[in-house]
Each structure stands twice: as structure tokens, then as C-alpha cells.
Amino acid sequence: MPNLAKIWRRTICVATLPLLLAACAPTVQQQSDYNTVQRSDVSPAIYDKMVHGDSLSVSDIASLGHARVNDGVIIRYIRDQGTVYYLSPPDIDYLQKAGVSQSVIDYMAQTAPPVPPGGPYPVGPAVGVGVMFGPYWHHWR
């Protein structure tokens, strides 16, 4: 009976391996997007990040924009990876100066969850902090 269990396990592993490998393989669209990025003037490091499914930084997106990579390629990659960007006004200015289109910037900005009313952190009473240096005590508020 133990031999039958081993055979059964091996059969299941052999049967599911192609399915797992197929799930990891890039789609035709993703492969086309990777080829587009590889043909552009983008550093090999950014291309490698994309092929490995790593999140792209704001400066990586700026490099893609500077290299005139198609907006659809950039947006699809951000969407597929589920990357969330919290863009500050200087980030937006940096992206615009790098040649990133407004549609890509808008999409990046929409990835951040909305800020709840009253700000992202609960507002509470002011708390005093004290620091002691030797025999002296100083209190900041």
C-alpha cells in the first residue's frame, strides 16, 4: 500500500506541475510589454525588475516616461503588480518633468487609498515629552 501512495503523490505532482508553471509564465500581452521596454532606452535594471514582477519606484516610472514607453505598458504593469503610490507634489512635478504623461500620473495617484476625513491618523490631545540630561529636566510640548 505505501507504494500505491507514493505513485499517487507522484502522479498528482506531475499533473499539477504544468499548471503551476503556466500560471507563472507571462501572458502574451506581458511578453509584448516586456519586449517594448527592452527595445526602449530604459536601463537593464528596470527591465529586470519588470520581468521579475518587482514594484517600480517613482524614479523607475520617470525613466520609463523619459524613454517614451507607451502609457498602456506602464499602466498595465502598475495594475498587474498592484503597486500603490503615495505621490507628493514634488513627485508629481518630477514625473511631469521626466516626460511621464498625465494619464500615467493620474493612474498612479489613484492607487493610494482615500484619506479618511480628519486625516490619516486619529487626532488626539497634545502629549508632552520630557527628556532628562543629568540633573536637568527639560519639557517640550
Q: Is residue 138 part of a domain?
A: no
| DSSP conformational letter for 37 | H
**Residue 37 pLDDT more than 80?**
no
Would you say residue 75 lies in a domain? yes
Low-confidence winner among 10-14, 44-48, 55-59, 133-137 (lowest mean pLDDT): 133-137
Name the domain count of the chain.
Answer: 1
Please report whether residue 96 resides in a domain: yes
Let me know: does 108 contact 74? Beta carbons within 8 Å: no
pLDDT of 43 reads: 87
For 18, 93, 108, 123, the CA distances from 25, given in Å and listed in that order, are 10, 36, 26, 47
Tell me whether residue 21 is in a domain. no
Assess if residue 14 is contained within a domain. Answer: no
Question: Minimum mean pLDDT among 43-47, 52-56, 109-113, 134-138: which range?
Answer: 134-138
Q: Examine residue 17 and state whether it is found in any structural domain, yes or no.
A: no
pLDDT bin (cut points 50, 70, 90) of residue 36 is: confident
DSSP code string of 38-53: HHTT--HHHHHHHHTT
User: Residue 105: which of 88, 126, 82, 125 has the closest Cα?
Assistant: 88
pLDDT higher than 50, residue 20: no
Full domain range(s) for residue 43: 27-110
Secondary structure (3-state) at 136: strand
H or E segment and range at residue 107: helix 102-110
Kindly report, residue by residue over 59-102, the tens digit of the pLDDT: 999 999 999 999 998 999 999 999 999 999 999 999 999 999 99
Between residues 84 and 122, which one has the greater pLDDT?
Answer: 84
Considering the entire predicted model, what is its pTM?
0.62
